[in-house]
Structure 1
Amino acid sequence: MPAHRIVFANEKGGSGKSTSAVHVAIALASAGRRVAAIDLDTRQRTLGRYLDNRAAMAKRLGQELPGARYDTFDPARGMPIAQRIEELADGMDVIVIDTPGRDDDHVRAAISMADTLVTPINDSFVDLDLIGQVDAETFKVTRPSFYAEIVWDARKARGKRDGATVDWIVLRNRLQHLEARNMRRVAAALGELSKRVGFRTIPGLSERVIYRELFPKGLTLLDLGVIGAEAGMGHIAARQELRELVAGLQLPAMEPTARIAEPA
């Protein structure tokens, strides 16, 4: 059975895309899945550097950490992106694909290969504008945006190529920073837009310092027991967010309620 392809894509930076991609990859590996990952952002390579840091930490600790086979895509090598993704995914259950915050041919090719497309957004009208335009007075959606059209074209290409569908998920990050009225307005606009362009929404990761602090070590919320760190209330809440995120993906390779291993 071919690896399930999860593509994290958003043209806007700062949405928590790479952080979400890394944590999903490690969560699935911790649950016993064979995971590959590829970073299409050749310049910034946040996912690649995160996993480099993880490999270095495992070496320092002298123990194995759940991880992924990974690479950073380099167009200069002359290999088509589809071929590199297929090579890396060979023998894996899941491949996580992190894309740069821009539109290019490689990103569009990756989206057209997705089984699950995840678009993380900060829960605001600024980020919502990426998917659909909203009337300033009524907050009603007036029309889908350019990015929604890109996804629509990619989904059509996928359907034409092999008859498969792309499950498009909008991941609502940093929800706790919104005041209640604005949150309801964004939620209503997303609900209206989801019916028009065909995505579903799930809650994502909050804006927690924890995630940024773990990056240099290459660790995730599932590794705190490895380094003997105490799990505070913030860590416990963040781990629950991660569980809900992975369950919300509803991956066919694992049950939606599959247990993510609890750190020691």
Structure 2
Amino acid sequence: MAHIIVTGNEKGGSGKSTTAMHLFAAISRTGRRVGAMDLDLRQRTFFRYLENREAFIQRSGQQLSLPEREWLHPSDLRDRKAAEAEEEARFSEALARLEKSCEFIIVDCPGSDSFYSQMAHAAADTLVTPINDSLIDFDLLARVDPETGKILGPSIYSEMVWKTRQLRARAGLKPVDWIVVRNRISTLNARNKRRVGEAVEDLSRRIGFRVAPGFSERVIFREMFLNGLTLLDLKEQGFSFSLSHVAARQEVRDLVKALEIPGLSDVG
């Protein structure tokens, strides 16, 4: 069966689609076949990124990898249970089609709760949760006492992940490997940075996720979107690397390594 990687949380702007795109590029460079699903049914940033890549290939004539894509649509049934049953069938069928030809499947979830997103989290072998390095984003994971800074309990997203873990356990599936990725970490040793770091490490021990470094606030990540390129593609484009580009490329490599995805130990 394909290894399913889900990028998810319930907050927009944390870097889920950028992470999904770079994970796709990293895996495809090893020669593995990759499938893709975008569950943000309105914005579809991940698939827009891939459409830009496809257009760049047509303009430039260059050979770049593309994943096999499955498009999902919301049910238009009014009855909630009937709608969820229809969406469950669509999701399962899409996964089954991708698993016929793909070794890895990357599923990008929206920055909100949806039934599709819940199913994706339950199906995940590896769950990647990017958060911006701030107490605002951390609130997605846990509630914090404003006076003491101590964790009071898990928040809405952590509770949802916990429920999907229970579903996997009842189905006899191995536990999901959950990694929280800290994006936009300041280079300064600021008080907020220390507080977030301490809170994330504390919560990781309590509810069972790993912590990995993510992407800094670099303009290059946003600039590449329009051409559908990633930092792993730039060397083949004859791109002249600055020190910032080299550092950003190393961030991608470090993230892929930290995820410890089976069969993906080295990224060129």
Provide the TM-score with structure 1 as the length reference.
0.93
Amino acid at match of 1:57: F
Report whether the alignment pairs 1:156 with 2:166: yes
Q: What is the identity percentage for the equivalent residue pairs of Structure 1 and Structure 2?
A: 49
Q: How many residue pairs are counted as aligned between the two chains?
A: 257
Letter in 1 for 2:116: H
- Partner Cα separation in structure 2 for residue 201 and residue 81 of structure 1: 29
**1:161-176 counterparts in 2 under 5 A?**
161-176=171-186
Find runs of 4+ consecutive structure 1 residues off by over 4 angstroms. 76-79
The counterpart of 1:107, out of the listed 112, 117, 141, is: 117
Cα distance in 1 for partners of 2:172, 2:92 equals 14
1:218 correspondence with 2:217: no
| 1:41–1:73 Cα contact (<8 Å) kept | no
8 Å contact from structure 2 (residues 72, 90) kept in 1 = no
The residue number in structure 2 matching 1:18 is 17
Q: What residue ranges of structure 1 are gaps of 5+ in the alignment?
A: none
SS at match of 1:33: coil
Equivalent residues of 1:4, 1:253 under 8 A apart: no
Q: Which amino acid in the other structure matches residue 94 of structure 2?
A: R
Matches of 2:98 and 2:41, distance apart in 1: 16
CA contact (8 A) 1:122 1:174 kept: yes
The partner residue of 1:119 within 125, 129, 139 is: 129
Task: Please state how far the C-alpha of 1:63 moved relative to its aligned partner.
Answer: 2.5
| 2:73 alignment partner AA | D
Q: How far does residue 50 in structure 1 lie from its aligned partner after superposition?
A: 0.5
State the AA in 2 paired with 1:205: F
> 2:83 matched to which residue of 1?
none
Query: Alpha-carbon deviation of 1:20?
Result: 0.7
The CA RMSD over aligned residues, in Å, is 1.5
5+ unaligned residues in a row in structure 2: which ranges? 77-85
Match of 1:54 in 2: 53
1:246-261 matches, cutoff 5 A: 246-255=256-265, 258=266, 260-261=267-268
Deviation at 1:71, TM superposition (A): 3.1
Aligned to 2:102: 92
Matched, 1:229 2:228: no
> In the alignment, which residue of structure 1 is the partner of 2:74?
75
TM-score (normalised: structure 2): 0.91
1:123–1:178 Cα contact (<8 Å) kept: no
